[in-house]
Structure 1
């Protein structure tokens, strides 16, 4: 413990320093973290970092998925649900099948079941990597929404494949009827458990006299509880966290006050950043031990690298093919939602960019490390080709992060893929419209509500006089109890106005949320006067 603890603290410090370096170099921090972890692993005398396979999912996945649910625009997910679900389920199944067929044919000793184990591991792209990489280029809101929405759901579909494939490897057989029933229970049971628990958590936090610290503590516990309950019931813990997280995110104004939302945002942002950083460092740190396992099995390192490169090629090819098939299907069945690019060539390049954005990361590593060392719950023989699967997974993560991650921003800029695409209103213009709308809406509300107030108040009168100019009063003595209540009422009116405005599909929900955050800050400033 005394050896590992300083090492873990040093890992966190390295994550922070590497993130600052990545920002300075204008490259995605997961790329630097993976490479740094690989380099650090060659330093002699470092303790070997081992993560219990049974705990890897439980430690990292629930909070990462839960935080993503609170960040994503549910409105955009509903708008693009067809392509999101097709990429999250159909494309993942097609990718896993492609990997399974390829590996069972070209890798000696690999069965179709083992191929599906590897396919389920490497099929889902990583949202953190894609988000960190695409922030250096301007992409349409629709593209980012598709990537974010896909990343939430593809984890569940890939892990379902992974779980069934593990069972097939352990038992040596696969019963389709039994698998179909289990699949339906995992999907609908996971979603149902997540929604039920999400509703319970919302009601509990709404009714309990919680403080911001206790609210944040509860939100840290909730994703783990959702995941654990769903897994104990034999359904999908990932889908439980996703469905419950999306439900609670939509009710955040209902059960969390402004202080809890502000402080929780900062806590979760730091917590998830550290978790992601540690995982990407672990990816690099695990390689020497994996290579040692390959050598112990007599597998040539160059051959294993070749397998990893070929599997990476299969993944990239399958995703690009799927992207073009999705565009073709859209052209046939829903041509009205196609992006109107500046030229036919740029429209043809759009699926290529979407296909090239499939970087792998956290989920793939977690799945690979969760492969049991021994079959039959630790009582049987060694899991076949475990070290080779781990090594191929590492090569896939490394190549997709470094090759695709470094070239994707360059390709977007070089090909000008999104030039001429009909984009939504600029963020700055939307912000100005929001502020103007809020100003007029609140001013009209105040005039209607308090202009003819039978119990006049100096503070309310000053609000009516100064709201148009938005000037700060030099003396806060006028902010008495009644004035403060009116001011808070005004902030709630603004929130209601923004909620109604958010129903407009042309308005970016991210800008709405940013304005909501400003209102929360204003309420907290007011309460401290």
Structure 2
């Protein structure tokens, strides 16, 4: 392990540098990470990256899903639950079915069950890739909510297909009523375990004398624990993590204090960034070993590339067809909620956007690597080919869809396809409501006998001034620059002041931390 440590550290450093380059080039960093991993894999003398297939899900999936469940708006999920549910389950099933039928027809020796296994692997779009791209372009909030909600649930549906296909390959049979019972238990058990243990973790945060550090450590443990318990009971670990994460995220204000939230956000952001970076790097680093496996199986490289390109086209077509089918179903059964009914051109372009946001990534790679190497003592059939097709699908969808999606969004002006309140206007409305409520609360305190509190009276005057002069709440760009420069000068002054050996450094650090919080507050204006 100590021999590979320098390579792992260098890999993490490369991930950071590549993310910087991606930000400069305004390209989604997963695209560059995959290409970089592929290029690095050709450097002679580097250690071979090997991950235990039995551990791949447990290492990467729980924290990635848990973080996604904390980031999403549960309110928006409820609002768009019909289309989210259809994309997360029906579209995944349709995509897996299409892959199974066509691979069985085109690939010699590829059975329907192996096709479903491959379909379950490559069906779920990757939320990380889409999220990285959305940093550089504006999309309607409804579309973002649908994509985020879908990404939380489609992992579960695709992995259920994956597991049933593995069982069918291992046993050589598929008993429908048993599969239906197992499927029901995986869903009900996974959600139930997530909610139960989510509630227990909530009580632990509330009742134990935790501080920010212990709260953050608990949140790091929770996704792994939820996943492990669910898998031990043969239910869905993915659904357990998602349901438990959603349960806790909607109650974060009631069991985490401000310090835990501020520090936890930074810790989780860095942790997830490293996990994502490693996974996308592994996608590229694994290719030479996968190609060696293809050669050992006697499959020509150009033939495998054609198969991968074919599966990619199938997936893009299936998702696009499903998007338009969902729109038509909405027009037939619920025309009142159909988007942009007054503008048919816009209405029929929205499914194109949803269909083109199908980049594959982390979950597909994890599922492919989790295929057992042997089955009943014999090599797993077509394992190397499935891995290679998965790699090609990930690479092509990242490069083709990932690089063209920003252009498509700008070309068709999807950012304008929204009736959402402009962001600045919405921020100002929230601030005004907050000011009104704050003045009311302060006056209530004043009436309760605190009239002698001069600081309270001063606060009432300040907040009433904000209410009477709302334009002063908004800083101009020049004012913001000047204020941020002032804060930087304050930090420099404190750094110089800290050179005094008699001054307690903790006090200086506390002042700098408060300045940091103020800077973050100003950046939100």
In 2, Cα distance between equivalents of 1:410 and 1:422: 18
User: Does the 8 Å contact 1:339/1:422 carry over to 2?
Assistant: no
Quote how far apart the aligned CAs of 1:449 are: 2.7
Aligned ranges for residues 297-316 of structure 1 at < 5 Å? 297-316=297-316
Is the counterpart of residue 400 in structure 1 residue 397 in structure 2?
A: yes
- Secondary structure, counterpart of 1:54 in structure 2: coil
CA distance in structure 2 between the partners assigned to 1:467 and 1:333 by the alignment:
50
Where does residue 484 of structure 1 map in the other structure?
none
Q: Give 1:336 shift.
A: 1.9
- 1:367 aligns with 367
- Which of 444, 457, 460 is equivalent to 2:440? 444
Which residue number corresponds to residue 8 of structure 1? Answer: 8
Paired residues of 2:309 and 2:392 also in contact (CA < 8 A)? yes
Moved over 3 A (4+): none
Give the match for residue 497 of structure 1. Answer: none
Q: Aligned partners of 1:91 and 1:325: how far apart in 2?
A: 10
Instruction: Tell me the residue number matched to 1:192.
Output: 192
Q: Give the superposition deviation at 1:138.
A: 1.1
Equivalent residues of 1:364, 1:393 under 8 A apart? yes
Whether 2:67 is the aligned partner of 1:71: answer: no
1:30 maps to which residue? Answer: 30
Q: Does 1:425 align with 2:421?
A: yes
How much does 1:470 deviate? 6.0
Contact 2:141/2:418 (<8 A) preserved: no
Deviations 1:171-228 (A, max 9, x none): 1111111100000000000000000000000001100000100000000000000000
Alignment gaps of 5+ in structure 1: 472-517
Q: How far apart, CA to CA, are the structure 1 residues paired with 2:24 and 2:450?
A: 60
Aligned 8 A contact 2:323 2:351 in 1: yes
Change (3 A) 1:161 1:452: closer
The alignment status of 1:174 with 2:174, answered yes or no, reads yes
Task: Give 1:496's aligned residue.
Answer: none
Match of 1:467 in 2: 463
Output the CA distance in 2 between the equivalents of 1:50 and 1:163.
22
Distance 2:460 2:302 in 1: 76
Superposed displacement of residue 467, structure 1 = 2.5
1:453 aligned residue: 449
Q: Aligned to 1:299, what secondary structure does the other structure show? A: coil
CA contact (8 A) 2:140 2:414 kept: no
Name the CA distance, whole Å, in 2 between partners of 1:416 and 1:257.
41
Q: Distance in 2 between matches of 1:130 and 1:7?
A: 29
Find the counterpart in structure 2 of residue 277 from structure 1. 277
Measured after TM superposition, the shift of residue 103 of structure 1 is 0.8
What is the 5 A alignment of 1:470-481?
none
Tell me the residue number matched to 1:388: 385
For 1:283 and 1:49, locate their aligned partners in 2 and report how far apart those are by CA, in whole Å. 10
- What does residue 495 of structure 1 align with? none
1: distance between equivalents of 2:156 and 2:146? 16
> How far does residue 402 in structure 1 lie from its aligned partner after superposition?
0.3
State how far apart, in whole Å, the 2-side matches of 1:454 and 1:439 are. 20
How far 1:417 sits from its partner (Å)? 3.8
Post-superposition shift, 1:452? Answer: 5.7
> Does residue 128 of the first structure (1) align with residue 124 of the second (2)?
no
1:103-142 aligned within 5 A: 103-142=103-142
Q: State the secondary structure of the residue aligned to 2:378.
A: coil
Q: What is the Cα deviation at residue 341 of structure 1?
A: 6.9
Q: 1:35-114 to 2 correspondence within 5 Å?
A: 35-114=35-114
1:258-286 per-position Cα deviation (integer Å, ceiling 9, x unaligned): 10011001100010011000000000000
SS at 2:379 equivalent: coil
Aligned partners of 2:352, 2:253: CA distance in 1, in Å? Answer: 39
8 Å contact from structure 2 (residues 320, 356) kept in 1: yes
Deviations 1:66-85 (A, max 9, x none): 00011000000000000000
Cα distance between partner residues in 2 of 1:132 and 1:466: 40
Q: Which residue number corresponds to residue 346 of structure 2?
A: 346
Unmatched 5+ residue regions in structure 2? 468-513
CA-based RMSD of the aligned residues comes to 1.8
TM-score by length of 2: 0.88
Tell me, yes or no, if structure 1 residue 207 matches structure 2 residue 204.
Answer: no
1:209-259 deviations in whole A, cap 9, x for unaligned? Answer: 001000000000000000000000000000000000000001101111110
Q: Please report how far the alpha carbon of residue 451 of structure 1 lies from its aligned counterpart in structure 2 after TM superposition.
A: 4.0
Aligned partners of 1:373 and 1:181: how far apart in 2?
Answer: 28
Task: Give the Cα–Cα distance (whole angstroms) in 2 for the partners of residues 300 and 20 of structure 1.
Answer: 37
Q: State the 1:342 CA deviation.
A: 7.4
**How far apart in 1 are the matches of 2:213 and 2:413?**
47
Q: How many residues align?
A: 473
Deviation at 1:415, TM superposition (A): 2.4
Deviation of 1:339 after TM superposition, in Å, equals 1.9
Aligned equivalents of 1:3, 1:37: Cα separation in 2: 20
Shift of 1:12: 0.7
Whole-Å Cα distance in 1 between the matches of residues 73 and 450 of structure 2? 44
Contact 1:341 1:418 in 2 (8 A): no
